[in-house]
């Protein structure tokens, strides 16, 4: 079968890989001149089963209200964003109900665990390296109360596949010596063994190259203008380079999926939530972490990416603007430097890149994967803050759904 995949971020490219592996002929279309240049470019680089919880959690609305007017708030709702949230906002609030939150969390955790295994398989089959670290991630705590609270929150997730170990200060510092350089004593940490990290953009680019070498078609610099519908069936897409026909079309346009799908009457509740990252030269700080360190108390994550180190975080409801606002960059970098003063040298080193991207967030926090809302049309969208984590597993699910559907038709 000839499958057209729209969008070449990490979700589109892994979808193309899983479809190629299932024996399909794959065509990828991307408006940028290279793959992985939008949200997949500067994310935190973390593949985390430990962060599978959706943002729509009990009490989330309190956090959002508290942020109003505070430029440095980790989650910031701008008043100008309100008109665009009139439907999405109430849906998000509904998903904050405890029973819905638990259901969504368990669904994401199962997909995240499957995804880590699927990513390992891709690396094994393709030989791709992407500055990956597979020693897990560390979430650090500065008080015993914080540590106990975290353990209580995580304990029920063990039976759903979350693997973690509680470390005291000595054990945590033995695993990650950079913790000894923190300005505030680290009393302990949680080590999530299964978590990984690595450069999402490098992975996406190398995987696309691997596919092209094996016959997949990749059209970069090509914008999808609309879907091609004949007799109620989606049979391709019209691009600025002309029409592309296919037996099946996969939409993987990240936050931009909603607009295209609306044109054929399919409504997916995706809102773009802006985040920022700062990528710096890691060599300026010889004791820099060698594995991801998350600090929820101070709202940042620090991830080594080979010779680079990245700080990422921030959630801003502000519409479609992707300019990295200096106030947001300063806030997150300031918090990270406060806790790890050694990072100051990296921040001042040449080659630093401040970046912002739009997370495709759905109210439930559970991505829409392998859904077939119209004949010929398939979705792999809405991965929110977890797209790098969930990409490989979502792609396998999508390919299975398309394969199963066709097997059903043939029967
Ligand atoms: C600050 C920040 C930190 C993050 N940290 C993490 C993390 O640590 N771990 C994690 O798992 N996730 C993280 N995420 C989330 C993750 O980056 C996203 O979920 C993921 O990149 C989404 O991938 P995507 O392929 O759906 O979207 P994108 O990467 O945005 O890809 C969509 C593609 O579609 C293309 N496109 C759009 N419209 C058209 C059109 N009309 N025609 C042709 N092409 C089009 C775009 O150019 C783009 O390349 C983070 C996100 C942010 C912003």
Quote the pLDDT of residue 411.
35
Find the 7 Cα to ligand 1 centroid distance in Å: 9
Say which DSSP state 9 is in. S
List the domain range (segments joined by +) for residue 20. 2-410
Angle at which helices 98-126 and 387-410 cross, to 10° = 80
- What φ, ψ does residue 96 adopt, rounded to 5°? -80, -10
List the residue whose alpha carbon is closest to atom 31 of ligand 1: 9
Atom of ligand 1 nearest to the CA of 388: 11
Regarding the beta carbon of 386 and ligand 1, being less than 6 Å apart is answered yes
CA-CA-CA-CA torsion sign (336, 338, 340, 343): positive
Measured in Å, residue 39 CA sits from the centre of ligand 1 at 3
Q: Given ligand 1 and candidates 5, 40, 54, 258, which is best to mutate, with the most ligand atoms within 8 Å of its CB?
A: 40
CA gyration radius, the chain: 21
138-189, pLDDT tens digit by residue?
999 999 999 999 999 999 999 999 999 999 999 999 999 999 999 988 999 9
- Spell out the alpha helix ranges (H) of 176-308: 200-213, 257-262
Strand 368-374 relative to strand 165-168, pairing: unpaired
CA of 201 to the centre of ligand 1 (A): 10
The whole-model pTM stands at 0.97
d(CA 113, CA 393): 8
Q: How far is it, in rounded angstroms, from Cα 167 to Cα 189?
A: 5
Domain total in the chain: 1
- CA–centroid distance, residue 389 to ligand 1 (Å): 12
The more confident residue out of 334 and 74 is 334
How many CB atoms sit inside 10 A of residue 346's CB? 27
Please state, in angstroms and rounded to a whole number, the distance separating the CA atoms of residues 333 and 354.
10
Which of 314, 388, 392 maximizes ligand 1 atoms within 8 Å of its Cβ, making it the mutation to test the pocket? Answer: 388
The enclosing H or E element of 111 equals helix 98-126
pLDDT digits (tens, 9 = 90+) for 213-259: 999 999 999 999 999 999 999 999 999 999 999 999 999 999 999 99
Measuring from atom 19 of ligand 1, which residue has the nearest CA? 387
| Ligand 1 pocket member 40 (CB < 6 A) | yes
Mutate to test the pocket of ligand 1, among 236, 387, 391 (most ligand atoms within 8 A of CB): 387
Whose Cα sits closest to atom 3 in ligand 1?
43
CB 299 within 8 A of CB 331: no
Q: Say if ligand 1 is within 6 A of residue 385 CB.
A: yes
Please state whether beta strands 293-295 and 300-305 pair in parallel, antiparallel, or not at all (unpaired): antiparallel
Q: Give the residue among 15, 1, 16, 383 at the shortest CA–CA distance from 217.
A: 16
Q: What is the mean pLDDT of residues 196-201?
A: 98
- CA nearest neighbour of 275 among 387, 109, 196, 390: 387
State in Å: Cα 164 to ligand 1 middle: 28
For ligand 1, whether the C-beta of 9 sits within 6 Å is: yes
Distance from residue 292's CA to the centre of ligand 1 (Å): 20
Please give the pLDDT value at position 145. 95
Beta strands in 66-155 (DSSP E): 75-77, 137-141
Distance CA 264, CA 344 (A): 50
Say if ligand 1 is within 6 A of residue 294 CB: no
Longest dimension (CA), the chain: 66
User: In the chain, pLDDT over 90 holds for what percent of residues?
Assistant: 89
CATH code for position 288: 3.50.50.60
| CA proximity to 249, closest of 224, 274, 268 | 224
Distance 40 CA to ligand 1 centre (A): 4
Tokens of 242: 């002309």
| Other Cβ atoms within 10 Å of 134 Cβ, number | 16
Q: Tokens 């990270």 appear where?
A: 336
Collapse the DSSP code of 77 into the 3-class scheme (helix H, G, I; strand E, B; otherwise coil) and give the result. Answer: strand
Range of lowest pLDDT (82-91, 112-121, 257-266, 379-388): 82-91
Spatial neighbors of 332 by CB under 8 A, at least 6 apart, are: 276, 278, 299, 300, 311, 312, 313, 314
Regarding the beta carbon of 357 and ligand 1, being less than 6 Å apart is answered yes
């Amino acid at each position: 079968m000839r499958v057209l995949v729209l969008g070449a971020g990490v979700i589109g490219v892994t979808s193309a890989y899983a479809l190629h592996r299932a024996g399909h002929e794959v065509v990828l279309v991307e408006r940028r001149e290279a793959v992985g240049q939008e949200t997949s470019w500067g994310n935190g680089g973390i593949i985390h089963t430990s962060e599978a919880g959706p943002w729509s959690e009990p009490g989330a609305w309190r956090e959002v209200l508290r942020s109003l007017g505070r430029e440095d708030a980790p989650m910031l709702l701008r008043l100008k964003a309100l008109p665009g949230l009139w439907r999405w906002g109430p849906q998000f609030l509904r998903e904050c109900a405890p029973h819905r939150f638990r259901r969504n969390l368990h669904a994401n955790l199962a997909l995240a665990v499957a995804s880590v295994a699927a990513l390992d398989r891709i690396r094994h089959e393709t030989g791709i390296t992407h500055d990956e670290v597979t020693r897990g991630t560390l979430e650090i705590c500065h008080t015993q109360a914080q540590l106990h609270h975290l353990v209580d929150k995580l304990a029920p997730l063990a039976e759903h596949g979350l693997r973690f170990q509680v470390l005291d200060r000595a054990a945590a510092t033995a695993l990650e010596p950079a913790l000894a350089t923190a300005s505030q004593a680290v009393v302990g940490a949680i080590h999530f063994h299964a978590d990984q990290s690595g450069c999402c953009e490098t992975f996406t680019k190398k995987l696309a190259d691997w596919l092209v070498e094996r016959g997949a078609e990749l059209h970069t610099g090509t914008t999808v203008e609309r879907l091609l519908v004949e007799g109620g069936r989606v049979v391709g897409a019209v691009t600025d380079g002309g029409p592309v026909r296919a037996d099946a079309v996969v939409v993987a346009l990240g936050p931009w999926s909603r607009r295209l799908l609306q044109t054929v009457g399919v409504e997916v509740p995706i809102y773009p939530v802006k985040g920022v990252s700062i990528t710096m030269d890691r060599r300026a700080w010889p004791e820099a972490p060698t594995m991801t360190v998350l600090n929820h108390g101070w709202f940042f994550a620090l991830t080594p990416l080979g010779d680079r180190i990245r700080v990422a975080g921030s959630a801003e409801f502000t519409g479609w603007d992707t300019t990295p606002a200096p106030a947001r960059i300063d806030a997150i970098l300031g918090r990270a430097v406060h806790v790890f003063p050694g990072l100051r040298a990296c921040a001042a080193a040449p080659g630093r890149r401040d970046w912002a991207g739009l997370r495709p967030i759905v109210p439930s926090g559970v991505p829409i994967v392998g859904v077939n809302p119209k004949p010929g049309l398939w979705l792999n969208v809405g991965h929110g803050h977890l797209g790098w984590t969930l990409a490989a597993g979502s792609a396998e699910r999508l390919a299975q759904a398309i394969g199963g559907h066709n097997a059903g038709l043939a029967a």
